[in-house]
Structure 1
Amino acid sequence: MQERIDSTADGIAAELRQWIASGTLSDGARLVERELAERFAVSRIPLREALRKLEAQGLIAIHPNRGAVVRTLTLADVDEIYSLRMLLEGDAIFQAVKRMDEETLVRASLVHRLLGKAETQEKQGALNREFHELLYAPCGNLRQLNAIRDLRAQVERYERLQATLLADTPAFQHEHASILKACRERDARLAKSMTVTHLATAKRIVGKVVTQALTPR
């Protein structure tokens, strides 16, 4: 049975975003309009709209003569992205703790346990994303949550290349447990501080991956 593909601009953008995050489209890979239009069975109008969405999210660069390519992040990009993530995610959890209900805490605890048992990087990445989104959601600011999601998407492919960012690392699970404990205790300031510390750890690791990717071989 042939896989059904969402041919809207949003659907195409979501599919391409997943290809970039998983490494199917690597840094510097060209996105050829003709090939992609055939792949998604669409005209170039929704395809170009999808590419513009990815460009706005910082995932690709569109050059007048070369077309679209997957962006290769620099260390300066990583610094900017994580600085913004610390501001936005720190504030999101600070606001969320004040509104967090017991159901959210129970669901986040379950995801945290599953994350510790996940056996594949794909599953680990999905659970890690779900854990943070559950805790941020009660902040109620949809624009802020969308901005957080877009910033995370820009570095997700590097996180998946580095196993130490995932659930098989006790240090990361310990940081998650500390964030969750602060939320349970309704300590908004501590939850924010632990979230910023958690992101600082991720920034150092992603920085190392990006440095390796940029080093000539």
Structure 2
Amino acid sequence: MKTSEPLAAALRRLIASGELPDGARLVERDLAERFAVSRIPLREAIQQLAAEGLVEQYQNRGAMVRTLTAADIDEVYDLRMLLEGDAIYRAVQRMDAETLARAGLVHRLLDAADTREKQGELNREFHALLYAPCGNQRQLKAIRELRTEVERYERLQSMLLADTPSFQHEHADILQACVAGDADRARAMTIAHLTSAKHLVKNARHLHVPSE
């Protein structure tokens, strides 16, 4: 029997892929049948997503996929810039040759990735590798949760990663700063990279949410 954790992960994937779009109702009966589980772990999974900001729960109306406003996206990316900029700044000072080599390999693999899913996976891995040496697990968890909030619009990986060449140039700048041990530049390049992503995400969001 599935626990709430894998159910929450499955629901995140459905939201990120757009199969459960903005405003979609999470009908417990239908989802319980789909995943062949009872409603108790499913309800726990939905509550977990609500705590992460992906779902909104309404009394007598159930749960719905949360629609992010432009202001929400600004808030998420402003926080990401603070947390990710700080993470990489501190990580650079602890980064070893193995981490840099792995990040370089992922960067090269991203150039050759031919599906949106693979691009997204490698993009997440690239950043996670570079942030991990900061050593603050709560900070890394917060970064993952903030990324999850906007990931559905980064399916927009269709937009973000249709724009892969410019993003890869930004990745290269970040990586070069890390190799050089330049923590200030790594932070500045990471913030610039997230600023580019924010603009693309806000534009892509309008394709799915035409009015506030």
- Shorter-chain TM-score: what band? over 0.9
CA displacement 1:156-194 (0-9 Å, x = unmatched): 111113534127532110000000000001111100000
Partner residue in 1 for 2:51: 56
User: Does the aligned pair in 2 maintain the 1:128–1:166 contact within 8 Å?
Assistant: no
User: Does the aligned pair in 2 maintain the 1:90–1:192 contact within 8 Å?
Assistant: yes
One of 30, 35, 41 as aligned partner of 2:30: 35
CA displacement 1:25-76 (0-9 Å, x = unmatched): 1111111111112222222221111111100111111111211111111001
Give yes or no for the alignment of 1:125 onto 2:120.
Answer: yes
Q: How does 1:7-156 map to 2 (within 5 A)?
A: 7-156=2-151
* AA at the equivalent of 1:110: L
**Inter-partner Cα distance in structure 1 for 2:163 and 2:74:** 25
Instruction: Report deviation, 1:212.
Output: 3.1
Instruction: Report deviation, 1:211.
Output: 2.6
**Inter-partner Cα distance in structure 2 for 1:167 and 1:86:** 23
User: Does the aligned pair in 1 maintain the 2:120–2:157 contact within 8 Å?
Assistant: no
User: Does the aligned pair in 2 maintain the 1:162–1:209 contact within 8 Å?
Assistant: no
Instruction: Report deviation, 1:120.
Output: 0.7
**Inter-partner Cα distance in structure 1 for 2:133 and 2:15:** 29
**Inter-partner Cα distance in structure 2 for 1:169 and 1:51:** 33
Aligned residue for 2:152, secondary structure, equals helix
Partner residue in 1 for 2:183: 188
User: Does the aligned pair in 1 maintain the 2:156–2:201 contact within 8 Å?
Assistant: no
Aligned residue for 1:13, secondary structure, equals helix
* AA at the equivalent of 1:211: H
Q: How does 1:193-208 map to 2 (within 5 A)?
A: 193-208=188-203
Mean alpha-carbon deviation: is it higher for 186-195 or for 203-212? Answer: 203-212
CA separation of 1:138 and 1:201: change in aligned 2, threshold 3 A: same
Aligned residue for 1:160, secondary structure, equals strand
TM-score by length of 1: 0.93
RMSD after superposition: 1.3
**Inter-partner Cα distance in structure 1 for 2:157 and 2:163:** 11
User: Does the aligned pair in 2 maintain the 1:78–1:203 contact within 8 Å?
Assistant: yes
**Inter-partner Cα distance in structure 2 for 1:201 and 1:113:** 21
User: Does the aligned pair in 2 maintain the 1:124–1:167 contact within 8 Å?
Assistant: no
TM-score by length of 2: 0.95
Q: Structure 1 stretches of 5 or more lacking a match?
A: 1-5
Give identity over the alignment, percent.
66
* AA at the equivalent of 1:102: A
Aligned residue for 2:173, secondary structure, equals helix
